[in-house]
């Protein structure tokens, strides 16, 4: 079988984007080191299968590595992707693929809306006038979104989506829609004039709500694309601090905060905080961390108090992960059946998007097979279950 020569500059560029030594790349794809060294000298030594494996690893078409020209990043990545990658280079191949999948998903949605003659606003925030303090801005945005005091995460998401923003929540199961559990990325936003995107890592509902509003702040206040690691949600400076203050005030207006008995809270052991705050967490759709962060920002508790809670939660998380790892090593890791597989597209893509896909299929704009593809490759019988469940809800 004939061997193929690649453009070594393109392979080197791919490795550099992931912070990877091209000389060690052979270990990642099981190609002999000598073969890869010869390939980097533009010699015809790779088989089709080997080139396909390289292309799959970098989420590229194999023809990408055959083009003689150097890479022009403006043609490879969107402005939005380059913006967040310039903030902090995205070295995780899985996260790069996730962001690329999200951007492709947006194009699919825009195409469906066009097929159904649904108008797409290119001025999704023109009716919003922001000025003054972050607290006042948050009040204005609460009114703009039409939020209630006891909104759950799904209510908050629906309110944001109705303003022309696409909200994606990553899946808890392994696959192209998952942000790796070990990845520190908590969320990101991609700032488009039409149908901007907010993507959220699957977490507790309270954490997801705070991430949603944090990313909304970047779109509304900073008008830019942002990629946020966990550290951004505890930042005390710059755009991240502004986004945290905005999110905190959106979810917990002053009237709500006054319901907490500060004397009682501060007399409790740190270990008892979550239990004391449970009713507030449930009613406001926030985490205990979000409540204490807000109290700290308002100088109602000290930074030492807030840090002590963070340290306790971090230790608690480590103990839980160690126990899960121990059970896994013992062969006791639980097998979680995907009983509600048909609802996963709703959880990931939102009701509005799912309704659009089903509407397009029922009006013969797309085939049943295409609808399945757009809904995370649901099997046909599972898609019918989704349809029935969607109609009944």
pLDDT of residue 122: 62
CA distance 314 to 63: 46
Fill in the DSSP letter of residue 172: S
Model confidence, pTM: 0.82
Sign of the Cα pseudo-torsion (249, 252, 256, 262, in order): negative
Q: How many CB atoms lie within 10 A of CB 238?
A: 10
The whole-chain average pLDDT of the chain stands at 88
Kind of pairing between the strands at 166-169 and 226-229:
unpaired
pLDDT digits (tens, 9 = 90+) for 69-85: 888 766 667 889 889 98
CA distance 168 to 179: 11
Q: What is the mean pLDDT of residues 215-233?
A: 95
Sign of the Cα pseudo-torsion (327, 328, 331, 332, in order): positive
Residue with tokens 């901007």, as numbered in its chain: 196
Question: Of the segments 119-123, 321-325, 347-351, which one has the largest average pLDDT value?
Answer: 347-351
Q: What is the mean pLDDT of residues 301-329?
A: 90
CB 344 within 8 Å of CB 171: yes
Q: How confident is the model at residue 222 (pLDDT cuts 50, 70, 90)?
A: very high
Sheet bearing 197-200, strands edge to edge: 166-169, 197-200, 185-190, 226-229
Q: How confident is the model at residue 149 (pLDDT cuts 50, 70, 90)?
A: confident
CA distance 344 to 237: 36
pLDDT digits (tens, 9 = 90+) for 273-297: 999 999 999 989 999 999 998 899 8
336, pLDDT greater than 70:
no
356, pLDDT greater than 70:
yes
Fill in the DSSP letter of residue 45: -
Fill in the DSSP letter of residue 26: H
């Amino acid at each position: 079988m004939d061997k193929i020569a690649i453009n070594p500059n393109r392979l080197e560029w791919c490795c550099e984007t992931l912070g990877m030594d091209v000389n060690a790349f052979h270990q990642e794809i099981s190609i002999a080191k000598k073969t890869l060294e010869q390939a980097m000298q533009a010699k015809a030594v790779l088989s089709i299968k080997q080139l396909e494996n390289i292309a799959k690893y970098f989420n590229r078409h194999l023809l990408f590595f055959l083009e003689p020209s150097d890479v022009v990043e403006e043609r490879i990545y969107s402005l939005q992707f380059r913006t967040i990658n310039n903030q902090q280079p995205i070295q995780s191949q899985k996260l790069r693929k996730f962001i690329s999948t999200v951007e492709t998903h947006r194009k699919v949605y825009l195409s469906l809306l066009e097929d159904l003659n649904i108008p797409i606003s290119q001025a999704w925030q023109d009716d919003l006038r922001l000025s003054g303090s972050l607290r006042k801005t948050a009040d204005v945005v609460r009114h703009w979104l039409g939020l209630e005091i006891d909104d759950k995460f799904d209510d908050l998401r629906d309110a944001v989506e109705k303003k022309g923003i696409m909200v994606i929540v990553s899946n808890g199961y392994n696959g192209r829609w998952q942000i790796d559990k070990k990845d520190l990325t908590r969320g990101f936003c991609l700032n488009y004039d039409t149908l901007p995107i907010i993507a959220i890592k699957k977490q507790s509902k309270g954490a997801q709500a705070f991430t949603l509003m944090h990313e909304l702040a970047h779109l509304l206040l900073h008008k830019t694309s942002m990629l946020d690691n966990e550290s951004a949600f505890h930042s005390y400076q710059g755009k991240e601090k502004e986004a945290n203050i905005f999110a905190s005030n959106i979810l917990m207006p002053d009237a709500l905060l006054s319901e907490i008995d500060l004397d009682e809270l501060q007399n409790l052991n740190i270990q008892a905080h979550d239990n004391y705050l449970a009713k507030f967490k449930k009613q406001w759709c926030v985490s205990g961390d979000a409540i204490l962060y807000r109290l700290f920002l308002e100088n109602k508790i000290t930074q030492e108090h807030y840090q002590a809670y963070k340290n306790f939660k971090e230790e608690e998380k480590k103990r839980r992960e160690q126990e899960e790892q121990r059970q896994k090593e013992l062969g006791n890791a639980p097998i979680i059946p995907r009983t509600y597989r048909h609802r996963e597209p709703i959880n990931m893509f939102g009701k509005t998007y799912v309704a659009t896909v089903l509407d397009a299929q029922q009006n013969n704009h797309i085939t049943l097979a295409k609808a399945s593809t757009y809904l995370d490759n649901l099997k046909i019988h599972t898609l019918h279950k989704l349809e029935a469940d969607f109609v009944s809800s």
